[in-house]
Amino acid sequence: MSLLREISKMIDHSILHPTITDEILRKECEVAKKYDVASVCVKPYMVAKAVEYLKDTNVLVGCVIGFPAGNSKEEVKVFETIEACKDGAVEIDMVINIGKALQGDWEYVENEIRLVTDACHANGAIVKVIFETDYVTEESDIIRLCEICTKVKADYVKTSTGFGFVKQQNGDYNYTGATIRTLELMKRSIGPGVKVKAAGGVRTLDQVLAVKEAGCTRTGATATGAIMEEAMKRFGR
């Protein structure tokens, strides 16, 4: 596989902003199709339309669950997962219950991840478990989450939603998203059956190459067009 294709097949093209309309979804699916990325990542009600727009392509359709704050009950996350799979999603990006992780209720967190993972696998989908590392910042907690995901046979661990906004000293809200240090920690802490997805703040080709070097096989991106155009200039079509 050429480096250019490796890069395109790392990208999950994110179509998740609250203001996205059906027409924007259609246009963004065209972007995903043009660059033959790995997948689109869409909101639950958009799955069926995304599947329609991307039929007869190699671009997969993924769906977020419990997004972006992870606050839904376990049963609701499982229901969302099954419904998304019925609509044609073959990849599920779930947000953990962040508060439960921060308070160390690992029994709850493990059960939740297991339930969604089992629902995904029973319905022909893979699961990516979002830790939201702007909130879950302690290395010991990240390691524990990686161990849980390995234990329950999740397919991917993932850093962020891209919406984990933290209040800054000047009063503004922003997020860091994926960092190389966190990605390398996650890579070291997972078992051989689990992969790593970077998400949040990966906006340039150099950042994609950096997370690839850190061990990621997928990355979320909204700047897919700019990334791929730069990749074609640098590595050829």
CATH number at residue 151: 3.20.20.70
Could you tell me the two tokens for 83? 């419904």
Q: How high is the pLDDT of residue 27? A: 98
Q: Domains in the chain: how many in total?
A: 1
Active site members: 93, 158, 197
As averages over each run of 10 residues, the pLDDT of the chain (237 residues) reads: 93 97 98 98 98 98 97 98 98 98 98 98 98 97 98 98 88 89 98 97 97 98 98 89
- DSSP secondary structure letters along the chain: --HHHHHHTTEEEEE--TT--HHHHHHHHHHHHHHT-SEEEE-GGGHHHHHHHTTTSS-EEEEEESTTT--S-HHHHHHHHHHHHHTT--EEEEEP-HHHHHTT-HHHHHHHHHHHHHHHHHTT-EEEEE--TTT---HHHHHHHHHHHHHTT-SEEE---S---EE-TTS-EE-----HHHHHHHHHHS-TT-EEEE-SS--SHHHHHHHHHTT-SEEEES-HHHHHHHHHHHH--
Residues 6+ apart with CB under 8 A from 91: 12, 39, 41, 60, 61, 62, 63, 125, 126, 127, 128
Q: With 0-12 CB in 10 A as exposed, 13-18 as middle and 19+ as buried, what is 165?
A: middle
Q: How high is the pLDDT of residue 161? A: 96
Q: How high is the pLDDT of residue 172? A: 86
Residues 6+ apart with CB under 8 A from 116: 65, 74, 77, 78, 81, 92, 94, 127
Range of the domain at 73: 3-235
In this prediction the pTM is 0.96
| Rounded distance between C-alpha atoms, residue 128 and residue 114, angstroms | 12
Size of the chain, expressed as the number of residues it contains? 237
Q: How high is the pLDDT of residue 25? A: 98
Q: How high is the pLDDT of residue 173? A: 83
Could you tell me the two tokens for 10? 């790392």
Could you tell me the two tokens for 52? 């329609």
